[in-house]
Amino acid sequence: MFLRGVTAYIRKHYKKSMLPRLEEHPEDRLTCSAVLFSRVSREIWLVGDCQCMIGNQYYDNPKPAEAVLAAQRAEEMKRLLAQGATQEELLRNDTARPMIIPHMIQTMKEQNISYSVIDGFHIPRQHVKTIGLDFQPWEVVLASDGYPFLRPTLEESEQLLQQQRENDPLNIGPEFQATKGFHPDFNSFDDRSYIRFRV
């Protein structure tokens, strides 16, 4: 029910004349990911690249090829650093990212085909990660992928995010790699959403 409803809601924001192009070019669609708890079915649904914790168990739902593209960017960043570029220069002007953008766009052509997102087009249920909860009490954390190291509290998750920024602002180290780094004008490298509750 949620998948159909959110798809219809996004789709109504497209002009009818746009639909043929959006059918052929998923990279032009309004797109987001979401992690939800269904109280009725006692399930957590991960639509797209988001993450959660149930008790101490961690779950995520990364995009296909995201890790490969992050590794390619990291290798290019390391090459640029070895050639004399400074970390500060690369934080301001991530010249490695344009190298992976065409591959990222190619991956987006597979959205709602080989992986799920919310974009106003049919969401294949088999690509929505579903985690069922039994009826014992659980502490649940739902979060976007802007936290590289998700923890049971917001404070811990934010502390680890700041440690990542201090230790590896380019996001190219072995502990965590991303398709972009911490631009100096922003307080993180990606969007952050975090909620914790008991069920």
* Model pLDDT for residues 103-126, shown as the tens digit of each residue: 999 999 999 999 999 999 999 999
If pLDDT is split at 50, 70 and 90, which confidence band does 198 have? very high
Which residues, in sequence order, are CB contacts of 170 under 8 Å at separation 6+? 74, 77, 87, 90, 91, 181, 182
Amino acid at 27: E
Whole-angstrom distance, CA of residue 63 vs CA of residue 191: 16
Among 111, 140, 147, CA closest to 33 = 111
- pLDDT > 70: what percent of the chain? 100
If pLDDT is split at 50, 70 and 90, which confidence band does 133 have? very high
Q: In this predicted model, what pLDDT tens digit does every residue of 25-63 receive, in sequence order?
A: 999 999 999 999 999 999 999 999 999 999 999 999 999
If pLDDT is split at 50, 70 and 90, which confidence band does 1 have? confident
Question: What's the whole-model pTM score?
Answer: 0.92
SS3 65: coil
Assess whether pLDDT exceeds 90 at residue 64: no
Task: List 144's β-bridge partners, or say none.
Answer: 50
Q: What rounded mean pLDDT belongs to the chain?
A: 96
Amino acid at 10: I
Whole-angstrom distance, CA of residue 187 vs CA of residue 27: 26
Mean pLDDT over residues 69-84, rounded? 97
If pLDDT is split at 50, 70 and 90, which confidence band does 171 have? very high
Among 160, 140, 134, CA closest to 52 = 140
Among 65, 199, 62, 60, CA closest to 143 = 60
